[in-house]
Amino acid sequence: MKAATKELKQVAGVTVRRADKTAAFLLIDTEEYHKNLDDILADSSKFVRLTRNPNDDTKREANRTIEAVNAATKAIQLPVISEDFWLGYLYGNVKSHKQGNPLRPIISQCPTPTYQLAKRLNAILTPYIPNRYYVTSSAEFLEKITDSMCDGVIAVPVDETIDLNANRVYRNDSTPTLNIPEPALRTLLAKCTKRAPFTTH
């Protein structure tokens, strides 16, 4: 399967993309695929075009907070960001169940400065969140929303989610208080979730 997918990717004018919410792969005209992505990015209420790469600023600002946390706790709680990084990457999965091959935009943050930090924060926060309130993978999330049969738009209010996490960690008698200062945790969570610069094509 991997060999076939790799071979198809070499075909001029054809883009291989995963179908949304399934494990299937689809072939879509490359020009149509790029046009659909451009239509998504044209929404200025959701996306802002950057004139410079913000990764160095993000790394510097995050490290300032990380070093303060490590000094305050007298132990290395978080790894300093020291490597070179790239922008995230936007791609689209095809909504094969809808006409016109619309895309579900997905931004991969794997190559960004805050990716490993986000994974570390997730590991720190997971014990504070009851099992019934979180999922372990995107596949599990899709399964739950598919089973719910609810109509509407799914949105994650970032500031409210940070508030909920902070209240659970610092104002909950059933778990020990985290030894990372709350303002620092809030700052790092915001940097991991509210800054998502990316490129595409």
Domain boundaries, the chain: 2-199
What is the predicted pLDDT for the residue at 194? 85
What is the predicted pLDDT for the residue at 7? 59
What is the predicted pLDDT for the residue at 162? 94
pLDDT tens by residue, 150-199:
666 677 788 999 999 999 899 888 888 788 999 999 999 999 998 788 99
Higher pLDDT, 151 or 61: 61
pLDDT tens by residue, 3-51:
655 655 666 688 888 887 777 788 888 898 999 999 999 998 888 889 9
Question: pTM for the whole thing?
Answer: 0.77
pLDDT tens by residue, 104-117:
888 899 899 999 99
79 has pLDDT over 80: yes
DSSP per-residue codes, the chain: -HHHHHHHHTSTTEEEEEBTTSS-EEEEEHHHHHHHHHHHHT-TTT----SS--HHHHHHHHHHHHHHHHHHHTS--S----S----EEEEEEE-TTSTT--EEEEEE-TTSTTHHHHHHHHHHHGGGS-GGG--SSHHHHHHHHHHHT--S-----HHHHHHHHHHHHHS-TTSPPPSS-HHHHHHHHHHHHS---EE--
Higher pLDDT, 21 or 103: 103
CB-count exposure of residue 21 (10 Å: 0-12, 13-18, 19+): middle
What is the predicted pLDDT for the residue at 133? 66
Write phi, then psi, for 187 (nearest 5 degrees): -60, -45
